[in-house]
Amino acid sequence: MKIRSALAALAVTLATAFSAGPASAQETFTLRLAETWGANFPIFGDASKNMAAMAEKMSNGRLKIRIDSANKHKAALGVFDMVKAGQYDMGHSASYYWKGKVPNTLFFTSMPFGMTADEQYAWFYHGGGMELMQEVYEPHNMLSFPGGNTGVQMGGWFRKEIKSLEDLKGLKMRIPGFQGEVFAEVGVNPTNIAPGELYTALERGTIDAVEWVGPALDLRLGFQQIADYYYTGWHEPATELQFLVNQKVWDKLPADLKEILRVSMRTAAYDMLIHSVHENSKAWATIQEKHPNVQIKNFPDDVLTAMVKANDKLLAEAAKGDAQAKKIIDSQAMYLKNTRNYTDISLRAYLNTMAKLNE
């Protein structure tokens, strides 16, 4: 019996050792991450740094992530290609930047008139969004994970007030993604410019208006010194950044480090959302106090109506010509319909109640 027990124990030990795969439990991995943002870029850059710090701490130093910012790798909008090719192991950027390469990537950042941050996170993790995103990225040798949310973004800075749809005709504006296509439908000339070039482009008149993020990041770039009209958002109600991981690199990681990396990315993404809320609140108070020239505006009704029609038209065209796009669009629409019913009787009802009480 003792011999049999000893042999059984040995078998368990050997099975455990071999099931761990080629990587030793003590083997260390150092991954290189390319981010779209410049060195020490606030909030966005903090998300990637927080993720790397958590992964290293939880792995007891077995998983280290070295971050190269855009000023080092010199390709702010080249992160997709670099991670796909294996030049970098990971990336931190925004999925809609790649619509020119892979059109269906744009659905995983934020869609005009779409889900709020909590609704969108629910879709990702409980409504099939992660699976659909992986369908899009898998052919490109990558995995994509939510990488941090800004919440509702502001509608942009304009030198001149937008009083009607006619004021948008021929306007040159930095606005990426599907929302740029919507603006194009109503006469705007949209363009995408790397973050580090936005202030200069607006200052020199290369563009007439710029949409970036919200008070915290906009204030740092100084748009309030150039443009007086700050419009509320409709186009990016839940702007989600992304962590990209090269598939071959992911496959080489042992199971425990994969889970540590997954948890670190998910936690850093949530932290970025609450960090955005905090910093935007502070920055808006600063703008109100120190920059009285800034006027908050809503887009006129005719503009919003035209953009809703343009958005619906473009979604229908995308769904008609691409089965994968249709599957994503239908999934988002159905999830939004269901979750918005609850949002209306909970969050919206609460905010309306508070507004009445504060009148």
Query: What would the DSSP string read from start to end of 85-140?
Result: HTSSSEEEEEGGGGTTTSGGGGGGT--TT---HHHHHHHHHHSSHHHHHHHHHGGG
Q: Are strands 209-210 and 63-68 parallel, antiparallel or unpaired?
A: unpaired
SS percent in the chain: helix, strand, coil, step 5: 60, 15, 30
CA atoms of 231 and 153, how far apart (whole Å):
10
Among 6-10, 88-92, 158-162, 252-256, the least confident range: 6-10
What per-residue confidence (pLDDT) applies to 177?
83
Distance CA 137, CA 328 (A): 13
Query: Confidence band (pLDDT; 50, 70, 90) for 11?
Result: very low
The residues, any chain, with a CB within 8 Å of residue 346's CB and separated by 6 or more, are none
User: What would the pLDDT profile of 84-116 be if each residue is shown by its tens digit?
Assistant: 999 999 999 999 999 999 999 999 999 999 999
CA dihedral 202, 205, 208, 210 (to 10 degrees): -20
What value does the mean pLDDT take over residues 210-234?
Answer: 96
Q: Is the pLDDT of residue 57 over 70?
A: yes
Amino acid making up residue 201: A
Percent of the chain residues topping a pLDDT of 70:
93
Average pLDDT, the chain: 93
Q: How far is CA 249 from CA 67, 86, 142, 263, 309, in A?
A: 16, 8, 9, 17, 43
- Please tell me the predicted confidence (pLDDT) of residue 7: 37
pLDDT of amino acid 24: 53
Q: What is the pLDDT of residue 25?
A: 59
Q: For residue 19, what pLDDT is reported?
A: 41
Structure tokens at 12: 């368990």
Spell out the residues 6+ positions from residue 96 whose beta carbon is closer than 8 angstroms to its own: 105, 106, 108, 109, 110, 176, 177, 178
Q: Residue 158: its pLDDT value, please?
A: 98
Q: Is the pLDDT of residue 338 over 80?
A: yes
Look up the pTM and report it.
0.89
Q: How many CA atoms lie within 13 A of 326 on its CB side?
A: 7
Distances (CA, A) of 306 to 224, 230, 301, 332: 27, 20, 8, 22
Q: Which run of H or E residues covers position 51?
A: helix 44-58
pLDDT at 259 exceeding the cut of 50: yes
Strand ordering across the sheet containing 189-191: 189-191, 172-174, 209-210, 156-158, 229-231, 295-297
Q: Which two tokens stand for residue 192?
A: 């995408």
Task: Give me the sign of the Cα torsion angle 130, 141, 255, 33.
Answer: negative
Residue 326 CB contacts under 8 Å (≥ 6 apart), including other chains: 318, 319, 320
